[in-house]
Structure 1
Amino acid sequence: MPIATTPIKSPGLESPSAAYASVWDARPRKYKSVLFQVCMFILMMELSERLSYYGINQGLKNFMQTIGWSLVSASALKSTWTSICYITPLFGAYLADEKWGRFRTILTFGIWYCVGDFMVAIAAYPTIMTNEAAVNPIFVIGLFVGIGIGTGAIKSNVITFGADQFNPESASEVHQKETYFSYFYFCINFGAAFSYGYLSVLCVDGSAQIPAEYGYFATYMICAAVMLVAICFFLIGSPRYVHMAPKDKSITTLLKLLSTSARESRKGAIVVTGALLLLFSLLVNIIAAFSSDSGRVGEVFSYIAAVMVLLGVICWVYGAYDQSFLDAMKESHGGKFDDERVDGYKKLVSTLPFAAFTIIWQCAYDQTDANFQSITQQCDLRLDRSDPDSKQIPGAMLGVFDPIFIVICIPILDSIVYPFYEKKFGAPPTQFSRASAGLIVAVIGIFWSGIFEVIRRNAGPLADANGDPILDGGSSQPMNDISWAGAIPNYVFIALAECLINVTAYDVFYSVVPLGLKSTSQGVNLFMISVGSVMTSVFTIMFSPYLPTNNLNDGHLEYMFFTVGAVSVVNFVAFYFTMKKMNFGMSHRSGLDEDAPLTGKDSVASRHSIAAAK
């Protein structure tokens, strides 16, 4: 007589509060304010990690060019690093949910991250910077292996670990939890503002006590020291934390379900093939980025990566358009998985076409880090345009406009634009309409960036009284006769599109799937950001023949922007008709579903969404 096997049960059926009620009750001490007495240690970790990340990020491109990388290589490698930072959250989520728990994962990779920070700082020491044989190995290992893996593993866990501290059965703590997300969002933007503000000046100009040649070293050492202090604070708070035991197996089960489906159905094989193509495009792009200065080698690999992404998108749109192929996995159909679990994963798979269409948007968004800085640095950055030797604004500082405009736009959208839309049309804007509006804004923004680059280049270089070009202090490239303020709209368009698309995307990936798959679903979204950065690197390398030198005045960077814009138009048309046919995201209900642990004003949900992305 055969032994009856128990079907694999559904994720998220158990109430989190019921499953973990004893965890909060068992806390050694009851705290009047969990937010300030417990979560401040966690918020300190997030603030320091974001300050460290943005502090490294804002000066990264100029630093790479300083140690010998070309403009194209620096841009491609920076985007490649970003793609690693956004693929590793899946690894961090797996370890936290299935192996180590959140505390151990955050602590382990916080230390890992800190080691990477110190390695990058060592590489920036003046005597090492001039030693090509020493600087590149130290820098590459510290940046890509240390910070790239560390920040991703932390990213997927810090916000959730903080939320774990609040008892959902306590009305007071539920209210504090909403405030926690606002504080978390503040920490992110404070870290970004400090980095793009003060640190962007320090790394280029130094300070009264720090010579300019030690600017990068001082900047990166501050990032490392802040991270080290944060780890100490995080450890000090450990006796106060609530620890959720790792018990979720959603990622492992998803892999089992899809691998079984791939063996038994054509659509399943197509979806899995799409995922593998997108994943391996990252590996191919790493080769392309590191060989971009080696003639045609980098270009060939960049084309291969682009084709892999295109095929991956097609596979996900075609294969996941109809999820009925997963029904064969149900126990009621002779499969090994209980029916409710399969229905949950069908909802996750239904988000894949939407996810695939966000890749080109993420590519446009990554331009704020990859190429907008290069454009800005060849505008007139002087504070006094009548003085050739006037103090300059660092080009990287304009990156602060992204978080500033996000802070401005989210309340305006939530409090004015969306209510006006609802009053005008009788229903709030759907996820589909918000994402569509964002994609249109992104198309306009990316085309405008190309137009502005033409205007900037045609303005002609600045010259001093002797006829010598006036150089930017960060990149040592000639500045043109057009104010840096003209580059601000580049950031404004992308920031507005970010509020419309990224917030909506996090809403989609949170509200569509059942409770037990919400973290996995958000991991898919972060994966799309990673692939978008891959495409930024790919486009930069593809158009390297039109960027023959580090001086943009000698090339045609606008060709890349116009191409990305054209691809974005095709992407939007395909998105529009596919989502319409799938009837995806058409509901007028609020994005927060009945399983959501966070309730309250839409602006709180919006800040939570952006916080997870940042």
Structure 2
Amino acid sequence: MVHLALLVLITIGGGGIKSCVNVMGAYQFHPEYHKDGITKYYTYFYASINVGSLIGGIATPIALQEANFTVALIIPLVAFVIATLSFLVGGLLGRFVKAKPQGSAVLRILQVMISAIRKCSLEKNKKSHGGQYDDGFIEDVKALLRLVPLFCLIIPFVIAYVNLSTAYLTQAQKMDRRTFNFEIPPALMVNVDPIAVVVNSFIITSILYPILKKRGIVLPVLVRSFIGSILGIVSLICAIIVELQIKSNPLFT
């Protein structure tokens, strides 16, 4: 029960950080004057996450192999302590833009949806139509609903992505990992993902987007998502080919 409680605590802590840190970072930019800065922020933010993943993905398996689990877990603990202290110091010094609490947007959206079902219309919930919600908020809800089909299309990608920490490790164990007289540990194979993200983030932000911007080309979000989905399909096809090769020429150790 103690171990289960600790896992639940990790879930709450990790989920709390992930749902707040990216939004708080975006609040540091003005929505009108820093539009380009916000785009770059999210690119660098995701790249930074993968840099940390890369460092941890290299240091932790080595510490586990050379020492034990205690040493391997102390490494992320120290990183969390440093990050938390940096955040607290920045907050105490007033270095952050802090948005005022505005209540739960999720709860308000649910209330709007329930009211819309009762009235059989979202428009009737607008104040301009006798409702109790601001017209702008209703328009935001409508925009969110239009994104639901896109969110559904992301589900297959996420299902494939989580295999990096499961099936990909199993696949790595069955591969010939000898390179220049050095056998790469299976746990290090997952670092291919953060390396690719960091490299591609630099190429896209520093090279591709500036070139397109100079030519007056701005890729909409849906186009970028489509291109990313195509690349994801190609990567899955490559993984299938590798798996077929492994099964046709099994490596027994």
The two structures share one fold, judged by TM-score above 0.5: yes
Match of 1:234? 87
Could you tell me which of 336, 340, 347 is aligned with 2:132? 336
Identify the match of residue 158 of structure 2 among 337, 362, 365: 362
- Equivalent pair of 2:57/2:191 in contact (CA under 8 Å): yes
Q: CA deviation at 1:200?
A: 2.0
Map 1:23-172 to 2 at 5 A. Answer: 137-143=1-7, 145-162=8-25, 164=27, 168=30
Inter-CA distance 259–402: structure 2 relative to 1 (3 Å threshold): same
Q: Provide the rounded CA distance (Å) in 2 between the counterparts of 1:404 and 1:375.
A: 19
Residues 1:258 and 2:48 aligned together: no
Q: How does 1:83-482 map to 2 (within 5 A)?
A: 137-143=1-7, 145-162=8-25, 164=27, 168=30, 184-185=45-46, 187-203=48-64, 205-206=65-66, 210=67, 214=68, 216-241=69-94, 242=96, 243-265=98-120, 325-383=121-179, 392-413=183-204, 415-416=207-208, 419=211, 427-462=217-252, 470=253
Using structure 1 for the length normalisation, give the TM-score.
0.36
Q: How big is each residue's C-alpha offset from its partner over 1:430-457, in whole Å with a ceiling of 9 and x where there is no partner?
A: 4333322322222232233222111012
AA of the residue aligned to 2:87: F
The one-letter amino acid of 2:57's match is Y
Amino acid paired to 2:11? G
Compare CA radii of gyration and give the structure with the larger one. 1
AA partner of residue 403 (structure 1): P
The sequence identity of aligned pairs, in percent, is: 24
Partner-residue secondary structure (3-state), 1:156: helix
CA distance in 2, matches of 1:245, 1:360: 36
Determine helix, strand or coil for the equivalent of 2:250. coil
1:151 aligned partner, one-letter code: G
* Alpha-carbon distance in 2 for matches of 1:182, 1:440: 19
- Tell me, yes or no, if the aligned pair for 2:125 and 2:138 is still in contact at 8 Å: yes
Q: Would the aligned equivalents of 1:421 and 1:429 in 2 still touch at CA under 8 Å?
A: no
Matched residue SS, 1:358: helix
Gaps of 5+ in 2: none
Letter in 1 for 2:156: I
Using the TM superposition, give the Cα deviation of residue 372 of structure 1 relative to its aligned residue in structure 2, in angstroms: 1.1
Post-superposition offset of 1:247: 2.5
Secondary structure, aligned partner of 2:122? helix
State the Cα distance separating 1:254 from its structure 2 match. 1.0
Residues in 1 aligned to 2:107 and 2:99: alpha-carbon distance in whole angstroms: 19
CA 1:416 to 1:191, structure 2 compared with 1: closer, same or farther past 3 Å? closer
TM-score normalised by length of structure 2: 0.79
**Cα distance, 1:180 vs structure 2:** 6.8
Partner Cα distance (2:178, 2:28) in 1: 48
